[in-house]
Amino acid sequence: MARRSMRNEIVEAALEQFHAHGYNAAGVKVITDAAGVPKGSFYNHFDSKEALAVEVLRHYGEGRLDSLADPGVAPLARLRAHFERLRDEVVRLDFTRGCLIGNFGAEIADHSDVIRDTVRHGFRQWADAIAGALSEAQRAGDLRADLDPGSTARFLLDAWEGSLIRARADRSADAFDSFFDLAFTTLLGAPRTCTERHDAPSPAP
């Protein structure tokens, strides 16, 4: 079996180290040791640790959004399943890791324009994928027409990232329970029919 490229091994080791310990705590030697490659080989593939972080963020995002565009699953069902998979991953790791994009945004974005741009791009791609699913749900009549898909997608993403921080702080899934209840029952629940709207009691004078 052919040996994987040294570059890929460095990227995968860095993803693991950055996700487990953060950007600042994971030095180049720690990463190359974890990858099982000589430290000197690092600079044959990357100009800097910052350049490696950008590649890691791109690698982290690959494939994670594909399920949001799956035409074989109803849009709101696939959106809920997307967040459920993310929740299950956090729970499986005993609340010790969060979203790598969010982690980098909190830890290093103030100190690196390149990483900040990559984080911003990652969040924008994610929000666009969510907005696409919401637009599909509206066209199918499964979502209120008065919700703006772009704004709603950004709100859901912000709410998810906040829930993730609290879940890690509490070492509890309670924040996730609140997220799913408010997001998918209250905000994205089935739209009311014309009859339901007309039958609603009028506000008191």
Residue 146: CA count within 13 A, CB half-sphere: 5
**First-residue to last-residue Cα distance in the chain:** 78
Q: Which residues of the chain have pLDDT under 70?
A: 1-4, 190, 192-205
pLDDT in the model for residue 7: 94
Distance CA 163, CA 182 (A): 12
Domain contains 73: yes
User: Which residue type sits at 125?
Assistant: Q
Closest by Cα among 101, 144, 97, 146 to 120: 101
In a domain? residue 37? yes
- Residue that finishes a domain, picked among 15, 37, 59: 59
Torsion over CA: 31, 36, 37, 39 (sign): positive
Residues 81 and 166 in one domain: yes
Predicted pLDDT of residue 126? 97
Is the residue at 27 inside a domain?
yes
Provide the pLDDT for residue 115: 95
What are the φ/ψ torsions at residue 63 (nearest 5 degrees)?
80, -15
Question: Mind listing the pLDDT tens digit for each residue in 2-49?
Answer: 446 899 999 999 999 999 999 999 999 999 999 999 998 999 999 999
